[in-house]
Chains A and B, each alone.
Chain A
Amino acid sequence: MIKSLKKFSIFLASVALLVGLQSEAFAAKKSRTLSKTIKQDHVKCGVSQGLPGFSNADAAGNWTGIDVDVCRAVAAAVLGDSGKVKFTPLTAKERFTALSSGEVDVLARNTTWTLSRDADLNLTFVGVNFYDGQGFMVRKSSGITSTNGFKNGISVCTNTGTTTELNMRDFFNARGISYEPVAFEEADEVVQAYDAGRCDTYTTDKSGLAAQRTKMKNPDEHIVLPETISKEPLGPAVRHGDQVWEDIVRWSLFAMIEAEEYGITSANADSMTTSENPAIKRLVGSEGELGTLLGVDNNWSLNIIKQVGNYGESYKRNIGDTGILPDRGPNALWTKGGLLYVAPAR
């Protein structure tokens, strides 16, 4: 009964769609999300509710962060203006539903790339813009200097609905330690609970720990333990089913990273159009038709680099200079000993 109703409804809908589409303007490449974005003249971006360094709004409502910069890169590539982004703050609980229901078209919300999310949640991770790992934060006064000091009955504050909850369980189970998970929906509530003493320790991605520590009453009272208990490759995600849009978002991120590799910055991008190196020329759009292949303007990468900067500039601006994580660690280029190695833009 459901199947035939389904088929009939789809038939009705296709008729309606065909009739409606007569008046729609098609993008050169068939992509619903791309044509929707062009039509509404902004990119719908899902971000966090305020994580310094990744996506955070200041008092005037201006968003900054490396996740924010990914969305701005997409806007620069597709619409030519990195300011044409609409940010939607999302909790960990609603982020995937918001993406799969079409409320946002890019989810740049320090989200960990895992198999179950890739396969089960109908979304695709386009790449990694931050290599991270989960860690624990404790008060200096507790005397704990490593996770070996954790004993039975420890209470742990965390965010609900995240990989943190799952990793935490794996960690304590493997060591046979009984623990009390106290899981809140909002990151601010977690920080407050830990700060007030409700929990003995606070766990999330180490970048999150560093960022949230700045929000505590006495940041110097707290230390992040040295152990990293999991891999957390954070990256932007898009919905299943729209490969054109997926490619655009992926290559917007990759262009930023490759630009740093070749030393192209927002300051010298224009002068690089006359460079000798063909790889650089392709990245700034003075050679090749890479934009058309993606379905965007040929100046896409030049716009990204000029308006948002390369990955290094974005990192420095948001995470390095703000004191959150001055050392790039695994987030340096592969040529400098880090993990950032992206496919070539050619």
Chain B
Amino acid sequence: MNFNTLKKLIPQIITIVILVGVVAYFWSNTIINMEYYGYEFGYDFLSKAASFDIQFSLIDYDGSSPYFRAYLVGLLNTILVSVLGIIFATLIGLFMGISRLSPNYLVSKLAEVYIEVFRNIPLLLQLFFWYFAVLRTLPLPENAISFGQSIFITIKGVYVPKFIWTNFNFFIVSFILAIIVSFFIFSYAKKQRENYGKHFPAFWVSLGTIILFSGSGFLFGIVNLTFEYPEIYNLTETVFNYRGGVTIIPELLSLLLALSLYTSTFIAENVRAGILGVGKGQKEASSSLGLTPAQTLRLVVLPQALRIIIPPTTNQYLNLTKNSSLAAAIAYPDLVLVFAGTALNQTGRAIEIITITMGTYLTLSILISIFMNWYNKRIEIKEK
């Protein structure tokens, strides 16, 4: 072994020793303290009854369900607000980013103001603003703001009609079939375009297919859709409430608003960076071919810009998912509030619960980034 290899090896060995030493120290410290304070490590609490109710849940849950089910409720609520938040943030961000580059002075300035305001105020403050300052000032149920007598906005929540299906399975199956058929339509159109230069109106044909397939259920009377409208009733002589329909609690609404608006500003800036990053020559070439600015944006610039936009936007999606844990500040029953809050307090199993919660967020983030990386690779421009 000559001196050069030794020079490279020694710092690595020292680092490993230090790393192992630090981990071992924390490990033994935890074990010693657990013995000292009589803390018994174990995951058996997950099968014990939770004994507390949760305000909002996507699956069946009540207090007699085990803690594991409470964990699932919290997890699903976190996923719900994250997915919705990601969708809204992307749409708003895309729109704002493109507006920022509009040649129209008013449009681009408004977009700039929006981005600067919602980007620079801390997320927690925005959340408090939406929840305490805005949604708290909504009227009581008796004076609700209503749209067409079917949507009601009150301080206790937003009430919308509920979809009541008969034979929902038939509808879903026909819908999925239509989607599969439209995949084939699109690939057929692509082949026509690439091999023969012929234009096939794939979008309209597949839209028609979807409508036809899904509508067939209604046409033959197999599928039916009615609505259950929210209606006001007396809790007491002077206190009113709504029942029926679907309730969107103000906690979910304000968290969604805060997360979407805040994250959309970062996505808007990513979009702007992406579009500006496409060579000016591309825009000039496409307009010299006779494409309108809208077509240029859609067919030439954006596809290339996506390669620049996607990696930092993946970051923003991960941030949004993790920021959803701020729900604990406003009583939205997400994973942190339900599991790392109430369940932790009732069982006292701090170490186990926090490890599970950290592991869950880690898994969610990894799943999102795997998906985004796959998508990024798929739309890569392959050098021919």
Contact = CB atoms under 8 A, between A and B. Distances in A.
Interface of A: 5-6, 9-10, 12-13, 92-93, 95-97, 100-102, 116, 120-122, 141-144, 149, 151-155, 160-162, 165-166, 168-169, 173, 179-185, 189, 192-193, 196-198, 200, 239-241
Contacts of A165: 52-53, 342
B236 A240 contact: no
A216 to B, nearest CB: 15
B342 A183 contact: yes
Nearest to A32: B36
B147 interface: no
Nearest first, the 3 closest Cβ-Cβ pairs linking A and B are A161-B345, A9-B28, A121-B348
B369 interface: no
A192 B132 contact: yes
A141 B140 contact: no
A143 B237 contact: yes
Given A166-B63, A189-B330, 15 more contacts: A96-B345, A100-B348, A101-B350, A151-B235, A153-B243, A160-B341, A160-B342, A161-B345, A161-B346, A162-B345, A166-B52, A169-B63, A180-B55, A196-B136, A241-B37
B155 A196 contact: yes
B342 A161 contact: yes
Nearest to A6: B31
Contact of B341 (A120, A142, A161, A241): A161
A142 B37 contact: no
Nearest to B135: A198
B350 A97 contact: yes
13 contacts: A6-B31, A9-B31, A121-B348, A161-B344, A168-B53, A181-B52, A181-B55, A182-B331, A185-B329, A193-B331, A198-B156, A200-B239, A241-B37
B337 interface: yes
Interface in B35-80: 35-39, 51-55, 63
Contacts of B28: 9, 12-13
Contacts of A240: 37-38
B348 A122 contact: yes
Contacts of A12: 28
Interface residues of B, number: 45
B225 to A, nearest CB: 26
Contacts of A193: 331
B345 A239 contact: no
B258 to A, nearest CB: 16
A141 B238 contact: yes
B348 A96 contact: yes
A101 B350 CA distance: 10
B272 to A, nearest CB: 38
A143 B237 CA distance: 7
Given A193-B331, A240-B37, A142 B342 contact: no
Nearest to B329: A185
A155 B156 contact: yes
Nearest to A192: B132
Contacts of B233: 153
Contacts of B331: 160, 182-185, 189, 193
Contacts of B250: 198
B37 A101 contact: yes
Interface string B330-368: 110100010001101111101000000000000000000
Nearest to A94: B345
A120 B347 contact: yes
A92 B348 CA distance: 12
Contact of B32 (A9, A101, A241): A9
B328 interface: yes
Contacts of A183: 55, 331, 333, 337, 342
A27 B250 CA distance: 56
B155 A10 contact: no
B53 A181 contact: yes
